[in-house]
Amino acid sequence: MNTPIVDIHTHRLDATAALIAVDPRQFEPQPGRYYSVGFHPWLELDSLTEDDFSLLEQCASHPQVLAIGETGMDRLRGAALDVQASVFARHLQLAHDVGMPVVAHCVRASQDILDVLRSMGLTNVPVIIHGMRSNQHVARALLEAGCHLSYGARFNAEALMSTPLERLLIETDDASTTIDDVAGHVAQVTGTTAEHIKEIAAGNAQRLLTK
């Protein structure tokens, strides 16, 4: 990694200093950019083939791929929960095998995600819960399980306040805001500066993503 990664999760293909989440079937690495690869829980997961999973594995070994995801679980949208759970489990297993963190989408599904983690015994795989909008109780449960929490354009201030700085990440996801705006908002709530938040986030990202 030459440029530090500040934005841990975006879908903007032209983003710099960011981890760009792509579907392995659309993976076209550009110079100087870094990626996470995975099958989003909103996709038609039922129709994924073994070839698709082989492609995911292949992409994971590309030098510009630093994490697995976007994967995860969503109780409000997407495939049946058991299908989501098994596809999420495959991403976790791959992350474990290649020694990378997972970028996880989690909507009303923190308990489901923690159940998958525990049932697989893969508690050592770093899990980044992206787009963290849940309250401080959910934050606490995720933090106790060792997860990192990534905050974006909208979030619960109490959850943010209960997140230790060493577990904090920031992101733009698919929002039209910039990472500077997100850092500014997070800084306002935590009583520090946007620069400081960006430094913290980049340091955490560096630690998590170094292969």
Distance, CA of 166 to CA of 59 (rounded, Å): 29
Rank residues 7 and 173 by Cβ distance to Zn ion and give the closer one.
173
Q: Which stretch binds Zn ion (CB under 5 A): 53-61, 90-98, 133-141, 169-177?
A: 169-177
Smallest gap from residue 51 Cβ to Zn ion (A) = 24
Q: Which stretch binds Zn ion (CB under 5 A): 70-78, 136-144, 160-168, 200-208?
A: 70-78
Q: Which stretch binds Zn ion (CB under 5 A): 62-70, 93-101, 137-145, 193-201?
A: 62-70
> What does the angle CA 162 – CA 167 – CA 173 come to, to the nearest 5 degrees?
95
Q: Is the dihedral of CA 194, 200, 204, 210 positive or negative?
A: positive
Rank residues 112 and 190 by Cβ distance to Zn ion and give the closer one.
112
Task: Say if CB 132 and CB 9 are below 8 A apart.
Answer: no
CA atoms within a 13 Å half-sphere pointing along the CA-CB vector of 91: 34
Distance, CA of 132 to CA of 155 (rounded, Å): 6
Rank residues 69 and 116 by Cβ distance to Zn ion and give the closer one.
69
Task: Say if CB 169 and CB 149 are below 8 A apart.
Answer: yes
Residues 38, 173, 190, 201: which binds Zn ion (CB under 5 A)? 173
Window 192-211: residues binding Zn ion (CB under 5 A): none
Q: Which stretch binds Zn ion (CB under 5 A): 58-66, 68-76, 178-186, 195-203?
A: 68-76
> What does the angle CA 206 – CA 36 – CA 149 come to, to the nearest 5 degrees?
60
Asked, as a colleague might, if the bond just before 166 is cis with ω within 30 of 0, I would say no
Number of residues in contact with Zn ion under rule CB under 5 A: 2
Pattern 22-51, binding to Zn ion, x per CB under 5 A? ------------------------------
| Residue 20 CB contacts under 8 Å (≥ 6 apart), including other chains | 10, 11, 12, 13, 33, 34, 35, 36
Is 74 a binding residue for Zn ion by CB under 5 A? The answer is: no
Residues that bind Zn ion (CB under 5 A): 70, 173
